[in-house]
Amino acid sequence: MRPVPLVLALSLVALPAPAVDPPASYEQMAVDLLREYLQVDTTNPPGNELKAARFYKEILDREGIPSEIDEFAPGRANLLATLKGSATRRALILANHMDVVPADASRWTMPPFSGAVKEGLIYGRGAQDMKSEGILQLVTIIRARREGLALDRDVYFLATADEEVDFAGALRALSPAGWRERLGRAEYFITEGGENVIGDDGKPQYFGIDTAEKGPFWLRLTTSGTPGHGSRPLADSALNRLVRALERVRQHKTEMKVLPVVERFFRDQAATMEGPRAEWYRDLRKALLDPEAAQALYEDREASALLRNTISITVVRAGYKTNVIPGSAEAELDVRLLPGEDPQAFLAELRGVIDDPQVQIAPIGTFRNPNESPTDTELFRIIERTIRRHYPGVPVTTKMLSGATESVLIRPFGTVSYGFTPLLATSEEVATAHGDDERVREDTMRRSVAVFYDVVSDLCRHRN
Ligand SMILES: [Zn+2]
């Protein structure tokens, strides 16, 4: 402890000491606020995120944290709250989306918008994706504000609409009509993603930080041909052509490639494994040269998705009556490209595979180039250090998400973006995101409060 100058010491005596809450009270706050927040129905469509923005704003107002709501379409809104820093360093954005995917209540054991707690689990649509993380971010800025944390950078709390459908909220927030002026200059962005797995032994296996993600490149195939009576087959009918094209797509093996982020993830995993697989994971490039290893990795659903561009045939539409040969047919492919891939080159590859000029192939919707952030950053090192302190011996690794998050929109601004959460989950619990009985462990929610706060305060606190 450094000696306090006399004048300052006197002025401190004159001021009431800042009330500092015990850390445990923030844990209780996080659990209580999450349960309340899960009751705000933001099913998208239609979204109604304005309700969630108001929920946040009421709390932020109470805490004296300035915030603004931008209702950019009826009922659709973003919220931005700001903790001001000295601006000697560029800002940090804590981002969370407020919308959730629909829930079929008849398939749930608990009502999806109840925030009910049973056997240490908090239930509700959004418990994983991603209202839990939104609350961790909120409690972090509340604590920073209450404790009078002096900041070198502005900390933004950004809650967005429509992540689950069209990114309309994030696109608006990053547009000139939104908050681009402020957000576009940030150094760091933390949002959903990452993967922290609890193993079969109940212990955390690793913390995975999402530094890269694949890009959805959805495609529609259409064919047309002569319609006719089903009693007299037409060899080159629209549907026969489509079936043949789809079979070629199904058989097509895309090339396996090793990106640095994926290489590190596998290498870190190898440390906890045994047998030939550990050998492969330690040196993926070498493994891919061995036909047996390459085949096994190709057939491993999880590993495969990290190593190559993937294609899932997801929609087929044709015909309306058993005895009528339809005159047209269409199918949709969910293609996911690795970061750095050229969509036009992939399209050309697929046209070559299908090898039928009568099958039209066209992209659906907007394609956003998949991107990644470096790991050699202060934020990455702080996350590693913090996890090591709170969970000694548990490895921290990188993870490439096979889905897409709002990171893809912010990285082009020169902002380092990570999918990071300290929340732990079993693979069964992870699968409840977008599934039935979505839930998060109360104990991980509590324990994550300090972890998240430590990361943010280490990154942003004032340094002499
Ligand atoms: Zn999400």
Q: Which of 330, 363, 396 is the last residue of a domain?
A: 363
Q: Are 218 and 205 spatial neighbours (Cβ–Cβ below 8 Å)? A: no
Q: Residue 224: is its pLDDT beyond 90?
A: yes
Please report whether residue 317 resides in a domain: yes
Percent of the chain having pLDDT more than 70? 96
Please give the distance, rounded to the nearest whole angstrom, from the Cα atom of residue 10 to the centre of ligand 1. Answer: 50
Please give the distance, rounded to the nearest whole angstrom, from the Cα atom of residue 270 to the centre of ligand 1. Answer: 29
Q: Which of 338, 363, 388 is the last residue of a domain?
A: 363
Please give the distance, rounded to the nearest whole angstrom, from the Cα atom of residue 5 to the centre of ligand 1. Answer: 49
Please report whether residue 416 resides in a domain: yes
Please give the distance, rounded to the nearest whole angstrom, from the Cα atom of residue 134 to the centre of ligand 1. Answer: 10
Q: Are residues 356 and 402 in the same domain?
A: no
**Tokens 């709170």 found at:** 390
Q: Are residues 67 and 201 in the same domain?
A: yes
pLDDT at 450: 97
335 CB-near residues (< 8 Å, 6+ apart): 216, 217, 218, 219, 309, 310, 311, 312, 346
Please report whether residue 10 resides in a domain: no
Please give the distance, rounded to the nearest whole angstrom, from the Cα atom of residue 449 to the centre of ligand 1. Answer: 19
pLDDT at 10: 43
pLDDT bin (cut points 50, 70, 90) of residue 4 is very low
Please give the distance, rounded to the nearest whole angstrom, from the Cα atom of residue 131 to the centre of ligand 1. Answer: 9
More confident residue, 202 or 271: 202
- Amino acid 1 reads M
Q: What is the pTM of this model?
A: 0.87
pLDDT at 189: 98
**In angstroms, rounded to a whole number, what is the distance separating the alpha carbons of residues 42 and 53?**
10
pLDDT digits (tens, 9 = 90+) for 105-148: 999 999 999 999 999 999 999 999 999 999 999 999 999 999 99
Please give the distance, rounded to the nearest whole angstrom, from the Cα atom of residue 49 to the centre of ligand 1. Answer: 14
Half-sphere exposure of 371 (CA within 13 A, CB side): 19
Q: Are residues 299 and 397 in the same domain?
A: no
Question: Per the structure, how many domains does the chain have?
Answer: 2
Please give the distance, rounded to the nearest whole angstrom, from the Cα atom of residue 387 to the centre of ligand 1. Answer: 22
Tokens for 450? Answer: 């300090």
pLDDT at 7: 43
Q: Which of 317, 339, 363 is the last residue of a domain?
A: 363
Q: Are 353 and 373 spatial neighbours (Cβ–Cβ below 8 Å)? A: no
Please report whether residue 431 resides in a domain: yes
Please give the distance, rounded to the nearest whole angstrom, from the Cα atom of residue 100 to the centre of ligand 1. Answer: 7
Helix residue spans in 335-434 (DSSP H): 343-354, 378-390, 407-410, 427-430
Please give the distance, rounded to the nearest whole angstrom, from the Cα atom of residue 163 to the centre of ligand 1. Answer: 7
Please give the distance, rounded to the nearest whole angstrom, from the Cα atom of residue 129 to the centre of ligand 1. Answer: 5
Q: Residue 166: is its pLDDT beyond 60?
A: yes
Q: Are residues 146 and 228 in the same domain?
A: no
Give me the CATH number covering residue 450.
3.40.630.10
Q: Are residues 126 and 196 in the same domain?
A: yes
Q: Are residues 289 and 351 in the same domain?
A: yes
Q: Are residues 268 and 165 in the same domain?
A: no
pLDDT digits (tens, 9 = 90+) for 6-65: 444 444 444 455 566 787 899 999 999 999 999 999 999 999 999 999 999 999 999 999
Please report whether residue 352 resides in a domain: yes
Please give the distance, rounded to the nearest whole angstrom, from the Cα atom of residue 96 to the centre of ligand 1. Answer: 8
Give me the CATH number covering residue 240.
3.30.70.360
pLDDT bin (cut points 50, 70, 90) of residue 3 is very low
Please report whether residue 266 resides in a domain: yes
Please give the distance, rounded to the nearest whole angstrom, from the Cα atom of residue 255 to the centre of ligand 1. Answer: 29
**In angstroms, rounded to a whole number, what is the distance separating the alpha carbons of residues 432 and 438?**
4
Domain limits for position 426: 20-213+370-460
Q: Are residues 192 and 219 in the same domain?
A: no
pLDDT digits (tens, 9 = 90+) for 379-391: 999 999 999 999 9
Q: Residue 443: is its pLDDT beyond 70?
A: yes
Please report whether residue 13 resides in a domain: no
Q: Give mean pLDDT, residues 69-75.
A: 98
More confident residue, 46 or 268: 46
Please give the distance, rounded to the nearest whole angstrom, from the Cα atom of residue 42 to the centre of ligand 1. Answer: 13
Computed over every residue of the chain, the mean pLDDT equals 94
Q: Are residues 322 and 385 in the same domain?
A: no
**In angstroms, rounded to a whole number, what is the distance separating the alpha carbons of residues 136 and 163?**
19
